Chains A and B, each alone.
Chain A
């Protein structure tokens, strides 16, 4: 028997959408006749996630990430396939299941806009039937971790986006969910706040051994938090494995950042790799991944180098590469 907390077996979710012709005449025609098309938001996706894992769900807009999370949360009824989360069929929406997971959507809020966040927390205490002692303990812990003690009694509408997101997380975690679905939790936040939330998610995972699925457009979130990634494109899963193996397979080049001690010509540098930046004394070269160390050695021997640094390309660039050559990735 599988020890997976989340089991997704050949999941599909299709939507029916109609295509309207442009312009007023198109609108008039749509009154009489509409042509509907089936959109396969999620198509035959299978995966399993074990307890305590943080899995990054990566995909372009409309790839089917949020739809999958909504099916896993019991919000959407699957067209085909089986889903089990914590042993429950999410669609049954049993309170015993709903008390064990949380879905946080960065673009939606559950806080009462006109009232301080503490009122939503107290409401959630009643909804999730959290005993007073546990409520106080968890709230104090979350407030301390996210450093929000001074804003709990401020109207939500007067909070900044980052402060609101912190309070959203607290509202979602008060019942200590075992499974957490985070859909773009850092969207719109500045880099400082992104880091605060990432640190918090990591700490929460470590402390509660919770299972987390994270979707984010910020690859930094995925890179920092997730050992495993699932890449989804146009409803299909195209990769499921260690994030590092994507980097190994798709980062064909490494980046050599050089600081020169003396002037060198562009022609001298082109012998070693593709010159991406040439603003002396700073030079950036792209060199084949397997030869990076060797090339760096040659440069150090033959050119006047003050400093050299070998880096992986940004994860965004690698993922872009994955989408461009996804045919090779089928899993």
Chain B
């Protein structure tokens, strides 16, 4: 990929954000209603885990402040999920079924990229901001000095977490090419969110092996949090990084292989 391509893709990313903002503002009541609903659910979620982490010695040995940071990571990633991934994947599986994918396959832009960036929702901005504020406030409570390395590490691990969720989800959604209709697959990844809403140390036995090593979704919020808390083991970091590279590669290969089965859904 050349520098010119990178510039083009960057411009397209923001062009789509601009178009969606314009579209959102066309229906302001709808936008305001969903902003209120998502804000309400974010508050309920934080309140619920606030109560749990205040009981005894916190959750899985994590203190209340540490839990606040982890919940901040979870809330921020949740904002990414509901702002981008859910809309993208819903469109993706439907477009394979009804043939609308054709429009994207004709464009002189990587089809997977355009599928990823072409849509989003703005009603989860409160959730994204809340996640950031929670992370910042937890760092303040724990007296952790803010350095460039800390910020770079948080951004890096949040990016890795986002890529892991996205590519895992994309891999599953790509089965839409192989079966006649696959809408419910988009409920699967959101239903697994509970596993990264808690520290990995909460899981024991086969659950810990399954979701901490084989399909390490329990590391999604734990790894960025442990990095900030200064106790991220290199083995854990390696497992998470490798899993992300594997799902990203597999999802790309699977998409390129599966798109050959696209039927275009009649005319």
Contacts and interface: CB of A to CB of B under 8 A. Distances in A.
Interface of A: 15, 66-67, 70, 73-77, 93, 95-96, 98-99, 102-103, 105, 107-108, 110, 112, 114-115, 119, 122-123, 126-129, 155, 183-184
Contact of A75 (B22, B23, B262): B262
B172 interface: no
A14 to B, nearest CB: 11
A112 B106 contact: no
Given A105-B267, A115-B23, A115-B26, A75 B102 contact: yes
B137 to A, nearest CB: 38
A7 B171 CA distance: 35
A112 B263 CA distance: 24
B26 to A, nearest CB: 5
Contact of A114 (B8, B11, B15, B23): B23
Contacts of B111: 93
Ranked nearest first, the 8 interchain pairs of A and B with the lowest CB-CB distance are A95-B108, A98-B108, A77-B260, A66-B267, A114-B23, A99-B108, A126-B15, A70-B264
B103 interface: yes
Contacts of A103: 102, 106
A115 B22 contact: yes
A76 B8 CA distance: 27
A75 B264 contact: yes
Interface of B: 8, 11-12, 15-16, 19, 22-23, 26-27, 99-100, 102-103, 105-109, 111, 259-264, 266-267
A249 B27 CA distance: 59
Contact of B267 (A93, A102, A107): A107
For B102, B107, B267, the residue with the greatest tally of chain A CB atoms inside 10 Å of its CB is B267
A119 B19 contact: yes
Contacts of B267: 66, 105, 107, 183-184
B105 A75 contact: yes
B118 to A, nearest CB: 10
14 contacts: A70-B264, A75-B262, A77-B260, A77-B262, A95-B108, A105-B102, A110-B103, A114-B23, A115-B23, A119-B19, A119-B22, A123-B19, A127-B12, A128-B108
A205 B106 CA distance: 21
Contact of B263 (A76, A122, A155, A183): A76
Given A103-B106, A127-B108, A112 B19 contact: yes
